[in-house]
Amino acid sequence: MTVQRVRDLFEGCQFRRWSGIKAEVAERWLAEQREATRDSAGLSRQSTNYYLTAAKSFGKWMVRARRARESHLEHLRPLNAATDRRHDRRELSVDEVRRLLRATYHGPTRACMDGPERSLIYRLAVESGLRANEIASLTKGSFDFRAAPATVVVEAGSSKRRRRDTLPLRRDTAAELQAHLALTLPTAAAFNLPSSDKTSRMIQGDLAAAHAAWLAEAATVEEKAERGRTTFLAYVDDSGRYADFHALRHTFISTLARSGVHPKVAQALARHSTITLTMDRYSHTVLGEQSEAVESLPSMAGATDQPAVATGTDGRQASAENRVAFCVPKLDALPCTPMHLRAVNEQSTQQLPLDETTPENMVFSGVSAAKTQEALVGVEPTHGGFAIRCLSHLATAPRSNR
């Protein structure tokens, strides 16, 4: 596939010699492949990025093999594929997987395979994360049922990362695989898996059968109509995400993350080069889980129905008799009393008598904020807000408590 992509790009750009490779010509050709025509929808950004990556890899090999001094495409950067997703996969719920396996096991022959074989393939994919081409490469000799635990080996030529991978198998799944391969020669293919395009149609048909069986289980017409409006067991959901064969791998890794498996263990089982790819790309979240997370937060109901309890009142409501002082004087500062206020008043150009005839709302008139702040030396902290609050507190308190 990599070689074919390089050939398509070079032939499309009419590159004949290494010196004739031009980056701007390659960019123009890739842009043309993304343009929609009457006969095709055009390639996605991710697809054209694959072509560019293949060509750049060829250029790196040319430089490394000393067949060329430099690669003319090395400085080109891939486009942001997140803005042009064409075939995003979704994970299947546990209930969806179980219903898919059950309906497939009892289903008809598809893609030259009977129901039990297809069901076993789906089960192996969702419990190991193996890709379709990796499962197609397996032989009876790829399985070691005598090991503890039983294992399956994917050779480097079939593995995406070009390494020999050994993966563990569940006991019950290993037992069914051993029974399935009992009469198979060691070098024979373990499964008769078709090509990728037929694999997509195969699982699409099995999902439709599982969905039909689920609808048939509805007790009433209303319940059946309600189920028909959901995307449960649908090949494409409301968000445009697909449940194709590769979605079984997404399901495997997302289920690992949801089961509390350590991220590094999940990365090893997924055979990813970085933990970011494992967690960000494959660990899907659903609205139900997000709702549970929000519901786990402490309730704030009634927070605005009751007034906040004043600090230092032991839960008692604030009143003129037990309210907390608005300013906290230092040990060497004057208390918030008429004497304190008289000292403040002496700093003002207007003298205000503090006697019984002074109106409640006129006690502190004429005291400027600047003069008040200067007089409140020792108040912690010293700013005009405390002075104003102090004055306001005494203005509203009974005269006997000032």
Domain spans, the chain: 2-83, 87-290, 328-401
- Mapping DSSP onto H, E and C, the string for the chain reads CHHHHHHHHHHHHCCCCHHHCCHHHHHHHHHHHHCCCCCCCCCCHHHHHHHHHHHHHHHHHHHHCCCCCCCCCCCCCCCCHHHCCCCCECCCCHHHHHHHHHHHHCCCCECCECHHHHHHHHHHHHHHCCCHHHHHCCEHHHEECCCCCCEEEECCCCCCCCCCEEEECCHHHHHHHHHHCCCCCCCCECCCCCCHHHHHHHHHHHHHHHHHHHHHCCCCHHHHHHHHCCCCCCCECCCCCECCCCHHHHHHHHHHHHCCCCHHHHHHHHCCCCHHHHHHHHCCCCHHHHHHHHHCCCCCCCCCCCCCCCCCCCCCCCCCCCCCCCCEECCCCCCCCHHHHHHHHHCCCCCCCCCCCCCHHHCCCCCCHHHHHHHCCCEECCCHHHHHHHHHHHHHCCHHHC
Domain 87-290 has CATH 1.10.443.10: yes
pTM over 0.95: no
Q: What is the pLDDT of residues 320-377, one digit of tens each?
A: 444 444 444 444 444 455 555 554 455 444 444 444 444 444 443 344 444 444 444 4
Supply the pLDDT for residue 37.
63
Query: What CA–CA distance (Å, rounded) separates 47 from 24?
Result: 18
Positive or negative: CA dihedral 22, 28, 31, 35: negative
Q: What is the pLDDT of residues 178-216, one digit of tens each?
A: 999 999 999 999 999 988 778 989 999 999 999 999 999
Q: What is the pLDDT of residues 160-174, one digit of tens each?
A: 778 899 999 999 999
Supply the pLDDT for residue 97.
95
Q: What is the pLDDT of residues 106-135, one digit of tens each?
A: 999 999 999 999 999 999 999 999 999 999
Compute the CA torsion angle 274, 280, 284, 289 (nearest 10 deg): 120
Question: Could you tell me which residues come within 8 angstroms of residue 77 by beta carbon, excluding any fewer than 6 positions away?
Answer: none
